[in-house]
Amino acid sequence: MEQKNTVLIDGQVVELNGEKNILELTRKIGIEIPTFCYHSELSLYGACRMCVVEVEGRGIMASCSTPPAPGMKILTNSPRVQRVRRTVLELLLANHDRECTTCDRNGSCKLQELANRFGVKKIRFGERDVKLPLDHSSHSLVRDPNKCILCGDCVRMCAEVQGIGVLDFSGRGSNTVVTPAFHKNLADVECVNCGQCGAVCPTGAIVVKDDTDRAWAAIHDPEKMVVVQVAPAVRVALGEEFGLPAGEIVTGKVVAALKRLGFDKVFDTSITADLTVIEETHEFITRLQKGEKMPQFTSCCPAWVKYAEHNAAEYLKNLSSCRSPQQMFGSLVKKYWAQEIGKQPEDIIVVSIMPCTAKKYEAALPQFATDGVPDVDLVLTTQELARMIREAGLVFDQLDIESFDTPFGFTTGAGVIFGATGGVAEAVLRAAHEFVTGQPIDQINFEAVRGFADRKEATVEIAGQEIKVAVVHGLANAKALLQEIKEGKADYHIIEVMACPGGCVGGAGQPISPTMETKKERAKGIYNADKLSQLRKAQDNPVVGKFYERWLAKPNSDAAHDALHTAYSNRGRISGEEIKLMTSQEPDQLDIAVCVGTCCYLNGAYDTLQKFMKLAADSELKERINLHATFCLEKCEQGPVIKVDDEIINGVTPDRVEKIFTEKICTKLK
């Protein structure tokens, strides 16, 4: 090759233009190299070896982790490459539960797809001989380690994008598994139920918990009235399950499908999103005037709320006390609308169609039930609704459109844009100016808070005061912002947080989306729906106004607080037994417990524990020391936390261990 900045790929001269790896380069010229562990939103891992190519003079190499160099001669489909890929697939299938027909990912499983693509018909290496137990503990997800191929996508998603890290590799060699710490169930650790681990899982190792059987049972119960609410993001994603483009607005077909499935009333969650805007904006104005509990964080996303309860207890007072639109809807239906139509709350089943797996967890929270009757009885994801439509034999794209029912079917564009990152903040800004000044705002589009940047910022002037707004999506971005606030490096009045990348359009309950481009198309559809709305400000919704007249008196009234608001609690304590590391049988023993819960772990508790173990093992007092790890000692924000007998000691970072060991342990034992 004469050109210095080129490579040869399958005989084709390709110019280099800053590509980070061979995989990027091949995709640029239309060659789709198979991958499992490569994901555009995650760090490079290079473990699965499906993406191998043959490089002249260097042999077989992973294309995802090999940077292209001028002069390289690359073969993407040589006989050696074909043999390696097929062998990798055979080995994965040999260790994989191959009950494909009953798997939730049947038809959308990458392992299944690639086995078919590469013609793997027989597996030479036998079958998995040990069945590991399934984890059904979560309200939102089911984890099946027998289907895990150890690609690490879920591990990196949870750690890198969400900043939590509840999943990791454990064991060595053939005993390696992906699991929460100490092989706990998901419900017993600080999982926030966002489901993004399942969204990137290429097989059925982590899937959305299927509640369609419960939905059918409710529909077929003649004693119950079954109403359903549909979240804004569903209308721009459901069509993908039936071959329609991402972002296409299919609201009318969604309503038609739900009515054909047998739901008695079909309503729009966007109406309680409008209600959320009014309640949250009045709450913000009150806080701003009093100069307290600032900045105000949004509270629509249950995964973000749970994250804050686990990891940012000191900021719980800053969260808006507003329930999410889902829970506001259930509350109004059960507390007020049921009476108007002559029904008891227990005679109405409220079903939600949501893009979000965390909504399943949220609906099950005890604070969202009255006398044992939940406000929202059942949550289905977009994926589950598509499954029900197929099961009923409905041809989705041939359905005639229908409209939402009254009274919960009249919405504005402000409620619809809740489905995209920045939508809640924009809807509040559309209302705040008018509530403060009494004058309608001229410009209702706030472009600065739109888009998919990790953090978006805007400054708007309301009655002579500058209001600083921040929007983040992905909990790792929220974590970074919280740290800046703690350090005094960031100062805002309103902060919107969505757990899922892209907001609700990127929820884990949506159709599986391999790229961020799909989520961007959905967000575009959300804003198109806003443009098509005749009313685009929540305060202009006449039906919401009637709700206040008939049921709620006025924004932030006692009645409104009872029906539409909630409270939060520190969830630093995680249930589980203690892990014994050093056990003493001496009568004058000393107990030492080191918390390894999330907050403490992130502050260095693992190193703290290791140092205590080494000091204890090297000490002449080791026979009298009872050392164990525990999952919480409270005061999470002051971690790492230890307990010496009955004394709680905060802030025991690794550099303080030796001093505390000498002063608190050696002194007591001597």
The answer to whether the Cα torsion of 417, 419, 422, 427 is positive or negative is: positive
With 50 as the cut, is the pLDDT of residue 266 above it?
yes
Residue 3, pLDDT > 60, answer no
Q: Which of 457-466, 478-487, 522-531 has the lowest mean pLDDT?
A: 457-466
For residues 570-599, average pLDDT: 72
Mean pLDDT of 540-556: 96
**355-378 burial: b if 16+ Cβ within 10 Å, else e:** bbbbbbbbbbbeebbeeeebbbbb
Query: Is it the case that residue 670 has pLDDT exceeding 90?
Result: no
Helix (H) or strand (E) holding 599: helix 598-602
| 616: exposed, middle or buried (Cβ count in 10 Å: 0-12, 13-18, 19+) | buried
CA distance 6 to 637: 53
pLDDT band at residue 514 under the 50/70/90 scheme: confident
The pLDDT assigned to 584 comes to: 65
Q: pLDDT tens digit string along 297-323? A: 999 999 999 999 999 989 999 999 999
Say whether pLDDT at 54 is over 50. Answer: yes
Q: Say which residue, 557 or 620, is predicted with more confidence.
A: 557
Q: Residue 274 has what pLDDT? A: 97
CB 196 within 8 A of CB 501: yes
| Closest to 77 in 3D by CA, of 117, 108, 121 | 117
Q: Among the listed ranges 260-269, 359-368, 398-407, 641-650, which one has the minimum average pLDDT value?
A: 641-650
Q: Which CATH architecture has domain 212-564?
A: 3-Layer(aba) Sandwich (3.40)
20 token code pair: 């980070």
368 close to 323: Cβ distance less than 8 angstroms: yes
In order, the DSSP letters of 272-318 are HHHHHHHHHHHHHHHHHHHT-S-SEEP---HHHHHHHHHH-GGGGGG
The predicted pLDDT at position 176 comes to 92
Does the pLDDT at position 659 exceed 80?
yes
Domain spanning 579-669, CATH class: alpha beta
Q: What is the mean pLDDT of residues 509-518?
A: 89
pLDDT (mean) for 627-646: 78
pLDDT at 1 over 60: no
Measure the CA–CA gap between 564 and 284, rounded to whole angstroms. 15
Say what the pLDDT of residue 381 is.
98
**Which residue, 571, 556, 619, 600, is CA-closest to 193?**
571
Q: Among 667, 665, 668, 670, which residue's Cα sits nearest to residue 582?
A: 665
For the chain, the domains span 6-77, 91-208, 212-564, 579-669
The CATH class, in words, for 91-208 is alpha beta
**Taking CA 609 as the corner, what is the angle to CA 132 and CA 316, rounded to the nearest 5 degrees?**
80
* Reported pTM: 0.85
Query: Please, how many CA atoms are within 13 Å of residue 458, restricted to the half-sphere of its CB?
Result: 22
Band of pLDDT at residue 469, cut at 50, 70 and 90? very high
Residue 193 · residue 509 · CB < 8 Å: no
Q: Residue 380: which residues within 8 A CB-CB, separation 6 or more?
A: 211, 212, 215, 351, 352, 353, 354, 388
Q: How would residue 490 be classed by pLDDT, with cut points 50, 70 and 90?
A: very high
Note the CATH architecture for domain 6-77: Roll (3.10)
Q: H helices of 295-406, where?
A: 302-311, 325-332, 338-340, 358-363, 382-391
Q: Where is average pLDDT lowest: 131-145, 405-419, 653-667?
A: 653-667
% residues pLDDT > 90 (the chain): 74
Q: Which range among 210-214, 578-582, 655-659 has the greatest average pLDDT? A: 210-214
> Is it the case that residue 231 has pLDDT exceeding 50?
yes
- Residues of the chain with pLDDT > 70, as a percent, come to 97
Q: What pLDDT is recorded for position 585?
A: 66
C-beta atoms surrounding 94 within 10 Å? 14
* Average pLDDT score over residue span 405-433: 95
Q: Residues, the chain, total?
A: 670
Least confident of 225-234, 252-261, 604-613: 604-613
Across residues 17-40, what is the average pLDDT? 91
